[in-house]
Amino acid sequence: MSVVKHFIDESIKKTEINEFLQNELERAGYGGVAITKTPLGTHIVVYAMRPGVVIGRGGETIKDLARVLEEKFELPNPQISVAEIEIPELNAYVIASRIASALRRGIHYRRAGYWALNQIVSSGALGVEIVISGKLRGRRAKYEKFRAGYLPKSGDPPLKYMKRAELHVQLKPGIFGVKVRIMPPDAEFPDKINIVSEEEALEEPKEEKSAETETPNAKKEEETTE
């Protein structure tokens, strides 16, 4: 197997696992999964709003998930751990599922989009983009974007920090798509400038001088001890 095909197969498998867990753990407030291979097997971290639902009574639910992942997706010795989502409004999967459930209840897509946008921005996100697509106003499929803040599309920060999620909802007019992109507040950008005050700038040379003055004294003490 070539290297390119290997990475494509691994990406497809991760997507299938993500969709499977999303359907199985919808009640638990599923917020994504992280899969890493170790010498002892496969370490899987499931992010959820209610970890107790994922674990189940006596750990039955999490044991069943490990068995299915090992048999159906051929993961060697899966070890599942559950992490609680601290701020659900900054998790793209949680927001996408909330928008999808709002659309299922018949709420207008604009109301659902702006409501989710305000929730994310009020939680401190640097940038947000929500795209709802489908037969929004007629027979032809269209899409509408809801944007706020600073959200770059290219470069290292989007690849490193941006949270993405995509869901599909079956409604009477057809299938609606929900895409959510969130730039968390801890993201660092190369064009961000840190302004140093005069006091801090003067303190740095003093520290360097003190370090230089300490070294010769230390040498003299060593010579005297010898």
Domains of the chain: 3-84 (3.30.300.20), 88-183 (3.30.1140.32)
pTM over 0.85: no
What's the pLDDT score for residue 157?
83
Helix (H/G/I), strand (E/B), else coil: 189:
coil
What's the pLDDT score for residue 197?
75
Give backbone dihedrals phi and psi of 152, rounded to 5 degrees, phi first. Answer: -70, 150
221 pLDDT above the threshold of 90:
no
* H, E, C per residue of 87-130: CHHHCHHHHHHHHHHHHHCCCCHHHHHHHHHHHHHHCCCCEEEE
When pLDDT is cut at 50, 70 and 90, the band that residue 73 belongs to is confident
Helix (H/G/I), strand (E/B), else coil: 181:
strand
When pLDDT is cut at 50, 70 and 90, the band that residue 205 belongs to is low
Closest CA relative to residue 135, chosen from 188, 108, 173 = 173
Helices (DSSP H) in the chain: which residue ranges? 3-24, 51-55, 60-72, 92-104, 109-122, 156-161, 198-225
What's 59's DSSP letter?
G
**102 touches 112 (CB < 8 A):** yes
Span of 32-41, 124-133, 153-162, 197-206 with lowest mean pLDDT: 197-206
Q: How far is CA 18 from the centre of its chain?
A: 13
28 pLDDT above the threshold of 50:
yes
Span of 45-59, 84-98, 156-170, 192-206 with lowest mean pLDDT: 192-206
For 183-187, what is the mean pLDDT?
89
Max alpha carbon distance in the chain (Å)?
Answer: 93
